[in-house]
């Protein structure tokens, strides 16, 4: 995680690679794995592989470092959840990563419930699950640039940019 903040690209090899392999479900046998870093490895790989067509950028945000504390991340999660609440579930966790000067906030709002057939205790059952989707806010305070990744049209992007500015800086953005 510390290296991600200092580089644009990182080639992972040696023993560290096994943590990333295991995070993706690849068998690693008795190789050294940092089990406490599996979740971080999964998240870093997911964010780096998001579809480029859903990224939107605007460069008119305040040029200051956002508060990344738990209270603000919780408020951002609640605001994103409220925005999507009509179609999706109530939960939304926000995690923060540093990538050089950029502050990357990844929101995980709940998606609509899915029902799948599966076995539990040897019985075939209809099981429900609450998947999540990604909303990524990548903010560079050196130039006030916000890159946003979210599925949806121009209105969704504009609304989510407003939410970010309101929660992080207590400011409204021009349309």
Cα–Cα distance measured from residue 167 to residue 138, given in angstroms and rounded to the nearest whole number = 14
* pLDDT, tens digit (0-9, with 9 covering 90-100), for 80-137: 988 987 555 567 889 998 888 899 999 988 876 778 888 888 999 888 877 778 899 9
Question: The whole model's pTM is what?
Answer: 0.69
Closest alpha carbon to 103 in 64, 66, 158, 144: 66
Cα–Cα distance measured from residue 77 to residue 75, given in angstroms and rounded to the nearest whole number = 5
The answer to whether the CB of 83 falls within 8 A of the CB of 159 is yes
| E-only strand ranges, 121-175 | 123-129, 135-140, 145-149
Q: Half-sphere exposure of residue 45, counting CA atoms within 13 Å on the CB side?
A: 16
Mean pLDDT of the chain: 83
């Amino acid at each position: 995680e510390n290296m991600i903040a200092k580089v644009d690209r990182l080639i992972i090899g040696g023993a560290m690679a096994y943590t990333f392999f295991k995070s993706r479900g690849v068998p690693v046998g008795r190789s050294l794995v940092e089990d406490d870093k599996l979740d971080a490895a999964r998240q870093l790989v997911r964010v780096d592989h998001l579809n480029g067509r859903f990224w939107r950028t605007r460069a008119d945000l305040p040029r200051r470092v956002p508060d990344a504390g738990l209270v603000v991340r919780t408020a951002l999660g609640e605001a994103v959840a409220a925005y999507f609440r009509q179609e999706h579930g109530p939960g939304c966790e926000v995690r923060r990563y540093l990538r050089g000067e950029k502050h990357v906030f990844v929101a995980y709002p709940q998606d609509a419930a899915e029902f799948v057939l599966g076995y539990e205790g040897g019985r075939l059952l209809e099981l429900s699950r609450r998947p999540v989707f990604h909303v990524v806010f990548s903010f560079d305070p050196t130039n006030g640039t916000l890159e946003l990744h979210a599925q949806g049209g121009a209105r969704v992007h504009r609304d989510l940019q407003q939410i970010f500015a309101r929660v992080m800086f207590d400011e409204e953005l021009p349309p």
